[in-house]
Structure 1
Amino acid sequence: MRVRLVQIAQHADDLQRAADFYTVLLDTPPSALFDPPGLLFFDLDGVRLLLDRAAPSSLVYLHVENVHETLERLEGLVEVVTRPHVIFTHEDDTLGPEGYEEWQAFIKDSEGNTVGLIAFQLP
């Protein structure tokens, strides 16, 4: 049996505010809204991101093309928790593309959840 990730739930008090924020972050509109009961969905390349009033907060890491450019696009919308920095360079392809640096930054979304941003760049 093959197991794959289907959905990630994240807490959101204000679905419209969360929709506005994640539309800018993900550069795509929501794929579905069911209110009531208070469920907002985005499609992350086949994995559903569910923003739900009843969900607990979780730490979600999102792949972006460039961490610095993403933060520039979000300027004024987010609190930057940790500025972009290199975590490590991948010596093989076990956790990322071989030879690439993994850049990470952390932000607070519109609902107060911490979100990790990850980009892979050649040194």
Structure 2
Amino acid sequence: MRGLVQVAQHADDLDRATAFYRDVLGLRHIATYRPPGLAFFDLDGVRLLIEESAPPAVLYLVSDDLEADVARLRTHEVAIVEEPHLIFTDDGTFGTPGKEIRMAAFRDSEGNLLCLMT
């Protein structure tokens, strides 16, 4: 095994989810196939598959500016579940020792939980 190539996310309404991931999150839309009802997006080299039969997944997305990203989500009336907050200070296990890891959580158009992390 070499790495992650694709992750799937549940959607009740493919058009609504496509608009959310493309227009609200700004992900590059790769393709939509009807039938069977699949939408693909680029997540920094990993394909994100949106489909009705997929189970919900918690996606953790990189944010360069947590407060600005949360503010932008609010302008789209996205439900913020957790405000930006400190999760932990890295001891070097995940990257730079002393780096503060911060996170915020929100719901997509389909009710799936997503998180932004610095």
Same-fold call, TM cutoff 0.5: yes
1:25 Cα offset (Å): 4.2
Is it true that 1:91 corresponds to 2:86 in the alignment? no
Which 5+ residue runs of structure 2 have no aligned equivalent?
A: none
The runs of 4+ residues in structure 1 deviating greater than 3 Å are none
Q: Pairwise CA RMSD of aligned residues?
A: 1.4
Tell me the equivalent position of 1:48. 47
State the partner residue of 1:74.
73
| Cα displacement string for residues 41-95 of structure 1 (whole angstroms, at most 9, x for unaligned residues) | 1111110111111101111111111221111111143111111101011121x21
Structure 1 window deviating more from structure 2 (41-50 vs 17-26): it is 17-26
Contact conserved, 2:81 with 2:106, CA < 8 A, in 1?
yes
Name the count of aligned residue pairs: 117
The one-letter amino acid paired with 1:68 is E
Structure 1 spans left out of the alignment, 5+ residues: none
Return closer, same or farther for 1:55/1:105 CA change in 2, 3 Å cut-off.
same
